Amino acid sequence: MEKYLIHSNELHLIDAEKIHQAVEKLVESLDLAAGSTTNFNLYQVVENYFKNLEKRRKINHVLGIKEDRYELAEDFGIK
């Protein structure tokens, strides 16, 4: 059976619980005491990055990741 891969225009379809489970694995693999504490919440950051296009844009801007307008227009119908 072929595994279905999620593409960039479908990230918002990933279930929040599945995102949290993946963050738990990240926290464990980095030997972190927790994935969220005061002013630090990997769960919220990753969930918003996947599920909220506007917040993803803001995070990308802070990180200096250039927006590919062609991809956004094609994937989301945004100009």
Q: How far apart are CA 76 and CA 9, in angstroms?
A: 6
pLDDT of residue 60 exceeding 90: yes
pLDDT of residue 68: 73
pLDDT tens profile 27-47: 999 999 999 999 999 999 999
Task: Indicate the domain borders of the chain.
Answer: 14-76
pTM (two decimals)? 0.76
Q: How far apart are CA 69 and CA 75, in angstroms?
A: 10
Residue at token pair 């995070």: 59
